[in-house]
Chains A and B, each alone.
Chain A
Amino acid sequence: MEFFVTLIQVLDSTIRLATPLLLACLAGLYSERAGIFDIGLEGKMLISAFFSAAIAAVTGSVWLGLMAGIGASLVLSALHGVASITFRGNQLISGVAINFLASGLTVLIAQSWFKQGGRTPSLFGGGRFEPINFPFAEALSGVPIIGPIYSELLSGHSILVYVAFLMVPLTWWVLYRTRFGLRLRAVGENPAAVDTAGVSVVGLRFAAVAICGVLCGIAGAYLATALQAGFVKEMTAGRGFIALAALIFAKWRPWHAMWACLLFGLLQAIALRFQNIDLGGVVIPVQVMDALPYILTVVILAGFVGKAIPPRAGGEPYVKER
């Protein structure tokens, strides 16, 4: 029974930790499926985390914070779009620049605004996303097995967690069942064909980059206003890169992205709860858990376990024939 309680707790924190990964991963999915590589997920999450926390702290409204976070993330998305679509610059270098820009600006602004060593004041009350409790969660918690699963695992998360997981079927539907999705996938594989069909490559790619910005914004806001209460320096802690790893792991597909993010969330949850894991004499140090998402991604990229083939036109600026 004690094992079961622990399991539920670990899975519960898995869901919490997987949520920002999932949002960022889906963000990257839209962008990369449209042929725009984005290694700036980390930076967009970070700047959103800061602005959502800052505005939530100043106004006391978490919803205004969320809006501010999305807005800030969209600004960086626009920058990435201008650099990589309009000026046909190197998308990877642009992503690197965006990560540094966010990392520097957040601390700089936080320090001059709040003077608390690069953090925002702690959020409380309406400044945070409160957990949503499902109906009868309290009453059902006593029921064996199902009770804890319902009331602990599924109920009691903030609304952004449910938004993140609902985004998975929505993304699948948009990508595979709508005209926009078909064009989006086409522009990442063969932009010339899309252009020939009279559809704007630039417009589609900007749309994809904008969706990416919105989702990264939600991810960052979740970090600062739901998972934690306020912004601290470098709080994304490489999550943008884990999301990127998950995206490759999932081979750029929405449902697989969810499972990949849950897996990486589970690894984080285990690393958080147990330090060194003793498996009958063999001790797995906590650093192995930290590194595992990256190692798994390299293995997948190496193509030894199924091959990860990115969208064909990914990373290539589109030059219209003249």
Chain B
Amino acid sequence: MDKMPKWADVVLIPLISLLLATILSALVILAIGENPVEAVNLMVTGALGSTYGWGYTLYYATNFMFTGLAVAVAFHARLFNIGGEGQAMLGGLGVAMVCLYIPWPHWSIALLGAGLSAALFGAAWAAIPAYLQAKRGSHIVITTIMFNFIAAAFLNYMLVNVMRPQGSQDPATARFPEAVHLPTFQSMFSTAENIVFRGAPANISFFVAVLACVVVWALIWRTRLGYEIRAYGHSETGAVYAGISPVRITIVAMLISGALAGLMAINNVMGEAERLVLNSTEGAGFIGIAVALMGRSHPFGVFLAALLFGFLYQGGAELALWTSIPRELIVVIQALVILFTGALDNMVRMPLEKLFLSLRRGAQ
């Protein structure tokens, strides 16, 4: 029998963890001599008070949905993919190559092509750590960390030595042609008299991300492969006994994970920057870890957690603009969320389990 009801596991524990992280963050803000209530007010107005703020919040959330899903899929196979950052960088390279060197007639076909290329590049970057884990037993956490650094060096080389346009000092590719520019929320939702989302980077890839959430949900809970991934993550010996190949599941799960992380590039590279720059991922690959943990590796949870982090990112940017609190506050909050929902999970769980057990005894 379970020690506590399912809703407590799915809803209560993340909420308590989030509450703890929030309290600590408030203490941090107090400690540096700012007012936490005012800070929250500023964040809410900045991130949610206007369509402009929403445009940024949803733009960030799109990134985090992709990377969060990437980490979540790997988590289901009990693999910890820290390499989302590197895979997203390579995804950016994939997008840039397709957008720059193929003359696309229309953005919709370009989006398909670029998405495919981004996913392929991301998956390819995850393939080597996956193979090494599956076949040679090399720890996937260490290899994906190493691959993040190798990706950064590789991208640096490509931008500085290969893809930089002649005469340009900036380590970045040329601007993508007009035909592959994705429709932004501004062009999609504005009417002649009422312009919304003015200048905000949210674009059509938000809907691709939401679609990805649905597809991942169907994959994990409604297909044979998803069942095998979950079975393998639950018990390797059990899965082997059921005839599931650990090598196949490890590699397939990591390829899907890498592809999802790579897909992020259609948002930040194709949708926003419209060229490939150094450090285009801005740590989104790592935020995916917090998002997946927070969302309990469930696509709907990832969706909500990504929105929350999108809000934190845009709110944090506003804070940095109007107060003396630097943007790094978000990194602290992110660390606390990872700490409480991930590493200190048992600290919240153990007392709760005791509470529910005693409640149940009392009821009998």
Contact = CB atoms under 8 A, between A and B. Distances in A.
A129 to B, nearest CB: 28
A89 B150 contact: no
Interface stretch (A136-144, A164-172, A217-225, A298-306): A298-306
B149 A298 contact: no
A174 interface: no
B146 A245 contact: yes
Interface string B132-168: 1000111101110111011001101100110000000
B331 A100 contact: yes
Given A89-B345, A238-B149, A96 B286 contact: yes
A6 B139 CA distance: 39
B346 A302 contact: no
Given A104-B332, A108-B329, A294 B149 contact: yes
B156 A287 contact: yes
Nearest to A88: B346
A291 B342 contact: no
A93 B338 contact: yes
Contacts of B342: 89-90, 93-94, 96-97
Given A103-B331, A287-B153, A302 B286 contact: no
B5 to A, nearest CB: 22
A199 B156 CA distance: 51
Interface in A93-124: 93-94, 96-101, 103-105, 107-109, 111-112, 115, 118
B334 A104 contact: yes
A101 B142 contact: no
A103 B150 contact: no
Given A94-B343, A244-B142, A100 B326 contact: no
A83 interface: yes
Interface in B164-215: none
A89 B146 contact: no
A66 B345 CA distance: 33
Contacts of A302: 132, 136, 138
A93 B343 contact: yes
Interface in B327-343: 328-336, 338-339, 342-343
A216 to B, nearest CB: 17
> Interface size for chain A: under 10, 10 to 19, 20 to 34, or 35 or more residues?
35 or more
Nearest to A297: B146
B138 A97 contact: no
A241 interface: yes
A87 interface: yes
Contacts of A83: 339, 343-344, 347
A115 B28 CA distance: 17
Contacts of A118: 326, 328
Nearest to B331: A104
A190 B13 CA distance: 32
A145 interface: no
A111 B156 contact: no
Given A238-B149, A301-B132, A84 B343 contact: yes
A285 B344 contact: no
A108 B338 contact: no
A153 interface: no
A291 B132 contact: no
Contact of A108 (B142, B146, B289, B332): B332
Contacts of B138: 298, 301-303
A88 B293 CA distance: 17
B223 to A, nearest CB: 27
Interface string B222-263: 000000000000000000000000000000000000000000
B157 A285 contact: yes
A294 B343 contact: no
Contacts of B347: 83, 87, 89
A103 B328 contact: yes
A215 interface: no
A288 B326 CA distance: 34
A40 B188 CA distance: 44
A302 B330 CA distance: 36
B286 A298 contact: no
Contacts of B358: none
Given A104-B332, A105-B332, A96 B143 contact: no
Contacts of A101: 332, 335-336, 339
Given A96-B338, A100-B338, A89 B346 contact: yes
Contacts of A97: 335-336, 338-339, 342-343
A88 B347 CA distance: 9
Contacts of A39: 141, 145
Contacts of A295: 146, 150
A290 interface: yes
9 contacts: A87-B343, A97-B338, A97-B339, A100-B335, A104-B329, A111-B32, A244-B145, A290-B149, A301-B139
Given A83-B347, A94-B342, A101-B336, 18 more contacts: A39-B145, A79-B339, A87-B345, A89-B343, A97-B343, A100-B286, A101-B339, A104-B332, A105-B28, A108-B32, A112-B32, A112-B324, A241-B145, A248-B142, A288-B157, A291-B149, A294-B153, A303-B136
